[in-house]
Structure formats: C-alpha cells, structure tokens
Structure 1
Amino acid sequence: MVAQNLTLLTDLYELTMMQGYYKSGENESVIFDVFYRSNPSGSGYAIACGLEQVIDYIKNLSFSYDDIDYLRGLGIFDEDFLEYLAGYHFTGDIYAIPEGTVVFPKEPLLKVIAPIMEAQLVETAILNIINHQSLIATKASRVCYAANGDGVMEFGLRRAQGPDAGTLGARAAVIGGCVGTSNVLAGQLFDVPVLGTHAHSWIMSFKDEYTAFKTYAKMYPDACTLLVDTYDTLNSGVPNAIRVFKEMREEGIHSKSYGIRLDSGDLAYISKKARKMLDDAGFEDAVIAASSDLDEYLINSLKTQGATISSWGVGTNLITSADCPAFGGVYKLAALKPADTDEFIPKIKISENPIKITNPGNKTVYRIYDKETGKIKADLICLVGETYNEEEDLLIFDPVYTWKKSIIKGGTYTIREIIEPVFIKGQCVYESPTTMEIRNYCQKELDTLWDETRRLVNPKEVYVDLSKPLFDLRNELLDAKK
C-alpha cells in the first residue's frame, strides 16, 4: 500500500498538550498502553489487526512545510514550538501483539515507550488504525465461524464508511477469515483474492434472462456464477441457469467453478428447492452462493434450517460491524521516568467504575496453553522481566474476585510471551508478514480457542489474570491514593 503521511491525523489537544510540555520543559519518557475493556459483538475474544498500517504511520511521521503553515494559521502555536515540530521524528520504542493474534480485554495490544511529547502525538492515529481493523477482523472471524468451513466473501465496499474504511476493512476481513473481497483496490494493495459475479442490472440490460446468462457464461466459463433472482428465482432464474449449464456441458466446457447466487427471498427454502433442481439436472457440484444482508446470526440460522448454501457474500453487516460499530480501544499512561532517574515510576488511573482502573507499570503478556490440546488456558499480564518455569506449578487468580484461583500443574502447560518489539529507538525492527500470511496465522490462532469461547451467544470467558507482582503493585498504588 502506498504510505500516506498522516501526521495531522490527530486530535487538536494532542498538539496543545505537546506545546504545554515543550514550554514547561517537561519531556520525560513515558509508557502508554493500548488496550480495550470488552470484546465487540458479544464475542469471547478479539483479533488484533492494523499493525502494518501503524508501522507505515510511524515511519512517515513528519511535519511538512504545509503542515507547519496550517498550524501557524490556527493562531495558537508559538514559533519556537512550530520549529520543534518542523524537525520532529519518532525516537521511541513500540512493542505490539502481532496481527492475527486472538486477544482479550485489558491486555496491552500495543505499548509505546517514548518522550511524552512523541508518545502523546501518536495516540489518536494509533487508536484509529487499531480500533477499526481489529473490529472488522473480529467480526469477520465470527461470520466465518458461523459459515462452518464454507467460503465467505467480503462484499461491503459500497456500504463502508468511506474509501479507507472499505479498503482497510477488506484487508481486516480477509485476515479474520474471508476468502476474498469484491474490493479491487484492496486486492491490488494487499495481494488478496478478488471475487464477484454480476448485478441485477446485467440481467435487466438484455432482452431476456437466458440471453444474459448465456452471454456471461461465454465470457467467464471458468468462473460462472449466475444471479438467479432478478425475476422469478425458481420458475425462471434456476431453470435458465440449468439450461446454460447444460449447453456448456454439451460444448465440452468444464468450469473450474460454477453455480448460482441467491440475493433475496427465503434463502433456506429457495436454496433447498434450487439444490434439488440442480441435482436432478446432473449438476450436483454446482455451488449455491447467497448474499442479502447476511451476518453471523443469520448464517447460523440458515445452516440450522438446512439451507444448501455453501458460499456466502457478506457486505454491510461485516464491513460496518453493524451491531457493534466501535471497538473501544484506549491509550492510557502506565509509567513515567523523571529526568533525574533511570527507572520508570508506575502510574495508575482510578475510577469509580472498576473496569476503568488501569494496570500500572511496564508490562508484557504471557499466554498459557494446555500442553495436551494446545488450547489457551489463560493469559497472564506481567511486569517486564518476570520469568516462569513450565515445569513448576503456576498459580493464577482473578484480579477482582481473588478467591477464584487455579493451580496449573507443572509439565501440563506451555507458556509464551506474545508481545514483540516493533520499533527500537525510532527504528523499525519488525517485518510485517503479507496479508495472506497473517490470515493463515490467524486461522491457527483461532484454533487455540475452545469451542465454548467461539460460540456466538454467551461465550465462555478466557481468563486474563495479573501476575502476583503486578497485582501487588496495583493494590499498593490504589492504597496510596486513599
């Protein structure tokens, strides 16, 4: 993807705070965490997504002459601060959980360690990128789970909230499990499969439905999926499609992929009737695809009803995550290092709402797997530097309901750190995989979830616990505020 300079993609208060820090001489190193508080769409997990675009953003972070002139024109920034911005570049560290990883509430998806002026500036854009793509990747994974192995195509570009949301959303949807997208620009930028058939207008532009089908089949014999619901699905559309398929067979044309698409009506009833008609005509391998305002719940319902659909085109409800339009990720200060010391001082945000109380300090995340099944048992948020021996018993406990405890016997689990370095001292040390490589990784990640966590309704929660040192630090800071 061609990198964009998104330096001014920020909230004004980030820049006014930066000027305040600059004028007061305060530019201590800080640690900010990106995390979210609850899973979207009632899910039992989320999918981390958007890191590649964050990397592009950081690499291209600089104020152009036009940017400085625009800020000068606002009349609120002094010339010495504008001179500082003219030479700005990111010099800090960024750590993140790789794209395609299953993640859970409260754990840091991304961590920025940098002088406070630099860390403050990048807040808005990082949240914008991570929140959007993580939301769509999560929604796509749920839709694909409901499809239960059938191919899901992302078809939502025309309903997305703008070109960027449609294109980057298509990328996220493929990472979440979609087999391809209708978005040709996304196909070009991210090297993902592009898919599609034809519209009702194609049928209506010909003298009759049969002629429209026959013309399309001649042009695209290897991928011939015919939209059969323009006029009368069962009495006209399907019979005309069968007629064309018979003619193709008689001419010795063997399509790599062929079938029909349904875009309206009672999809369960019509698909079963259409399946019988196709089978009776000798086209048992013809695909029945469906679209029409689908989401994970409707797909699950249709499959429960015995619908004979094996390919799903999902648009509006996927690309907009219609039932949950925002991911809710936040960017919170976790530690500060004064100029006269080499150590970070942990910081905590306190709220009357317990879910908004933050976890302090420089943290990382360990993921604990059941050794026999490879499934996730829990995540453990720890302070950087903590180590664990897989041969020793491990005590984990709920950080709120501390009486909820579990001892994982040594030798029965494996553990790995899931946060990786991305930028060190302003230099990128991470190489992003391709979108399709991330998709493959994401499928393996989803396989580490128990079925109970993946179910669409009332999923089982994955435990995200605090290590004992982090738990004690958090309580110490809470007690100090009383």
Structure 2
Amino acid sequence: MSRNLTMLTDLYQLTMINGYYKSGNHNDMSVFDVFFRKNVCDGGYTIISGMDEVVEYIQNLKFSDADLEYLRSLNIFDDDFLNFLKNFKFTGDIYSVEDGSIMFPNEPVLTVKAPLYQAQLVETAILSMINFMSLIATKSSRVCNAAKGDAVLEFGLRRAQGPEAGLYGAKAAVVGGCAATSNVLAGKMFDIPVAGTHAHSWVQKFDTELDAFRAYAEIYPDNCLLLIDTYNVLESGVKNAITVFDELREKGYEPVGVRLDSGDLTYLSREVRKILDDAGYPNAKITASNDLDEYMITSLKQEGACIDSWGVGTKLITSYDYPSLGGVYKLAATASREGELMPKIKISENPEKINNPGYKKVVRIYNSYGKAEADLIMLNDETIDENLPLEIFDPVYTWKRKVFEKYTIREMLVPLIKDGKCVREKKTVHEIKEYAKEELQSIWDQYKRIKNPHIYKVDLSQKLWELKNNMVASKKKF
C-alpha cells in the first residue's frame, strides 16, 4: 500500500527548513541519529521495528500541489520557498539495523546522512513509525516470553488508538512473536495469519447455549472452538461444549477446544481441563483472554493454570503500562565551511540527555559461543582487529572494564537507503519474526527477565569517549 506522508511532520521542521534555505546552508551535509534512552517497560531489551514503513515513506516523499496550497494558506512561507519545496526529493543515505533487531538504550538504531533540509524534514515521520512499532514489537515479545512457548494471539484492534495503530500494531505484534492476529486487514496487507471464532453475542442470539454451539459446530466442524463463559462455565458452558464435541466426533471431526474470557482463569481452566480429560478430550485446547499481559500470564502460569494459548488485546496493542518508547532524533554532525563533517553535541543539565557526537556506527561483540556480550559505539572511521584483544569500559564508571580474547563482531547499522533509493531486500513479516527470534536467542536469559533484568553493556570507544568529554568540557563555546 503506497502512501504519501510528506505532510506528516511538525510545523517547526518546515520553519527550520525555510530558515536554512534563507540562510543558504540548507544543502550542508548532516548526520542525525535515532536512538532511545530507556527500554520498553523498563525491560532488558527493545525490538526495533518499522524499517519497511520508513522505506515506503522515503520513496513517496513529494509535496503535491494541494500540499503547497495549504502551506501557502498559512501565510508564513513565501513563493520562493514553496517553489523550492515543489521539487523536494530525498537524495541522502540512511543506515539502520535490520527489522527485528534487539537494541539497547543510547545507541543509534537508524542514522540519516543527507543534505540538512532533507534530513530535517523526515524526523517526525521516522520517529512516529519506529517509536510505535518498536514499542508494540517489544511488548509482544515480553508477552510471548511470559507464555513460554504457548501461542499468543493479538486481539487488540477494537482497543487500538485508531485504525493505523491497529494495523501496524498487529504487524509489530507478529514480529515480536505473536502467532496470529484477529485483524483481517492486517492479515491481507502483511500476509500474516489471522485467527478468531465467535463472541458472546453469538451465544446470546440463540434460544439456548447448546443451540448456539451446535449451530457453530455445524458451520465450522473442522475448526470448532467454543466460548464457554457466556452464562456459567462449569454448570453449562463446558458441559454443552462436550455434548457438541461428542456429536462432532460421531461425524468424524475432532474439536479444537474452548475459550475462557472472564472469571478466575486459574481455577476455571484447571476445572475445565479435568472435565475435558474425563470426557475423553485430552487434546482439546483451552484458550484464555480477558485483559492479559506479561505480568498476568506469568502469574497464571505460576499458579498452575491449564491454558494452552492466549488472546491478548488491550494491554498489548496499547502497551498499556508503557505508552511510548520515547525515541529521539538528534543532530550528530554537520558540514563545516570547508565541507568536512564536524561533530555536534547537545549539552544538558540532565546527563542522560547529552548525545554522543559524530558520525558513528554500532558494533556488537559476540563470544565464541555466539552469545552477544556487549555493544560498542564507535566513530565511523574506527576499525577493530579481531585477532587482537579488545578492551571496553563503562562510559560513566570507567574503572569497570572487560577484555575480550576470543570474539567476533558485527556492525549493526547497514545501508537501507543510498542516494535516495532502497538498497535492502524487503523481507516478509515471517522472515522478520524469525530474525527477531534468533536475535533473542543470541542474548542471555538475564536480559529477558520480565522484572529487574540485567543491564546489557553499551560502551563507547576510547576515541568517541574522549571526543564527547572534550566537547562537554568546552561547552562554553556552544
């Protein structure tokens, strides 16, 4: 689906571009980094998603006549500038991590290198895409980790913050590990599995619960999963379900199972499991829903709930307890009068808001068993000789050091856009999901804890650390 989102920007991007244009420095080459300062839900990692959407956005950048007329109506831009925008085209480079990559605070996940006016315009839309989709992909991963291999189904469309969030949130949820979505349009757009059976209204429409179950089983004998909590789970729901299951079996069909959507899920699921087993249906699955998240699923599993799959809606699609990733887009370098890229830094009273200056790359360090041990942020022209020991140090507590002897490295930022054109082969959502799964397997379990995870090492190279500290020390010049 091709969309022109050129006007999906904040007004100040356009007022700044106008200022650069009037000042004559709009074509200066500049470098901007996208990064985040805290992991989703204060967890141990974040899954990055949204790169396909960034590519689509960049490839469709063009101000239409209607766009320019609207901007003219604001009475803040003259015709000279609007004529300049008429020929707008992104001609720069974008480097990013692969969709589905596991990343950590303060390291670039995407870098834009482009003429200043182009790099400035794309800030808002890129942040909007990556912030939201990475948020939901990570929340989904946390929920799926809590489910410990059980299928998790994304059921959040009706509670999403609008249709766009429902669509792209469903895609991100599958990237994060969900087996399917209830969202039919998302299934069509992104070729992802869809799932769903019936609601309480189906049962209410018929004279009796048994009539409703029989009607559903007659239409869908190969996929009969019945919602059994409309009236009374143990006194009627599961008993009527078994009656229908017996009738299906006589016709040569096996039921899929039942769903619970309310009540004490631990108690009810355990009782339902006993009843199904005693009735000869040990393979019938129990699916649960009802405002679930990673914390509730963890608790239910610890209590011994007999649940085989999980329908997760509101608290996944809205990331209920952590509503925003908070990724930022910061200028890291820009051309001097001589045309050389010069590092730039933002000084703040809050140390965590001081960005890492310069044109950079991120290197991941793996041990001999293929486990990720640390990330190192380096200036782009730095290299590592893997035949030599590598020492890294904490950028704040510099006496904390670690030396690697047998290791391999991988550069995380790879070309996405070159000279305005996509240079990376597009992957299916299934391929991105599998990559994210591999990424999760490459980090130790202590980083994946739901609560109080271990903090992954993200350090600066000696050269970058010295550059940053020297720039901070000379802040009176800024």
* CA displacement at 1:428 relative to structure 2: 1.4
* CA displacement at 1:71 relative to structure 2: 0.5
Alpha-carbon distance between aligned partners in 1 of 2:421 and 2:250, rounded to the nearest angstrom: 62
Alpha-carbon distance between aligned partners in 2 of 1:223 and 1:86, rounded to the nearest angstrom: 55
Alpha-carbon distance between aligned partners in 2 of 1:364 and 1:220, rounded to the nearest angstrom: 54
Question: 5 Å matches for 1:376-455?
Answer: 376-409=372-405, 411=406, 413-455=407-449
Secondary structure of 1:105 counterpart: coil
**1:68 maps onto 2:62 in alignment:** no
Secondary structure of 1:437 counterpart: helix
* Equivalent in the alignment of 1:205: 205
- Whether the 8 Å CA contact 2:221–2:253 is kept in 1: the answer is yes
* Equivalent in the alignment of 2:16: 17
* Equivalent in the alignment of 1:134: 134
Equivalenced residue count is 475
* Equivalent in the alignment of 1:347: 344
Alpha-carbon distance between aligned partners in 1 of 2:108 and 2:218, rounded to the nearest angstrom: 53
**1:185 maps onto 2:185 in alignment:** yes
Alpha-carbon distance between aligned partners in 2 of 1:395 and 1:282, rounded to the nearest angstrom: 62
Secondary structure of 2:399 counterpart: coil
Structure 1 unaligned spans of 5+: none
* Equivalent in the alignment of 1:79: 79
* Equivalent in the alignment of 1:273: 271
* Equivalent in the alignment of 1:248: 248
Alpha-carbon distance between aligned partners in 2 of 1:275 and 1:390, rounded to the nearest angstrom: 55
Q: Counterpart amino acid of 1:396?
A: I
Alpha-carbon distance between aligned partners in 2 of 1:461 and 1:363, rounded to the nearest angstrom: 22
Q: Give per-residue Cα distances to partners, 1:64-91, cap 9 Å, x unaligned.
A: 0000001001111000000011110101
* CA displacement at 1:224 relative to structure 2: 1.2
* CA displacement at 1:390 relative to structure 2: 2.4
Alpha-carbon distance between aligned partners in 1 of 2:51 and 2:25, rounded to the nearest angstrom: 29
Alpha-carbon distance between aligned partners in 2 of 1:446 and 1:347, rounded to the nearest angstrom: 33
Question: 5 Å matches for 1:41-440?
Answer: 41-255=41-255, 258-341=256-339, 343-372=340-369, 374-409=370-405, 411=406, 413-440=407-434
Secondary structure of 2:373 counterpart: strand
Q: Counterpart amino acid of 2:353?
A: K
- Alignment identity in percent? 58
Alpha-carbon distance between aligned partners in 2 of 1:426 and 1:253, rounded to the nearest angstrom: 55
Alpha-carbon distance between aligned partners in 2 of 1:21 and 1:151, rounded to the nearest angstrom: 52
Q: Counterpart amino acid of 1:6?
A: L
Q: Give per-residue Cα distances to partners, 1:170-204, cap 9 Å, x unaligned.
A: 00000000001000000000000000111000000
Q: Counterpart amino acid of 1:360?
A: P
Taking a change above 3 Å as real, the CA distance of residues 480 and 113 of structure 1, as seen in their structure-2 partners, is same
* CA displacement at 1:364 relative to structure 2: 0.6
* CA displacement at 1:437 relative to structure 2: 0.7
Instruction: Give the TM-score normalised by the residue count of structure 1.
Output: 0.97
Alpha-carbon distance between aligned partners in 2 of 1:369 and 1:301, rounded to the nearest angstrom: 34
Secondary structure of 2:224 counterpart: strand
Structural RMSD (CA): 0.9
* CA displacement at 1:339 relative to structure 2: 4.6
4+ runs of 1 displaced by more than 2 Å? 338-341
* CA displacement at 1:425 relative to structure 2: 1.3
Secondary structure of 1:367 counterpart: strand
Q: Counterpart amino acid of 1:415?
A: I
Alpha-carbon distance between aligned partners in 1 of 2:372 and 2:454, rounded to the nearest angstrom: 12
- Whether the 8 Å CA contact 2:245–2:254 is kept in 1: the answer is no
* CA displacement at 1:251 relative to structure 2: 1.4
Structure 2 unaligned spans of 5+: none
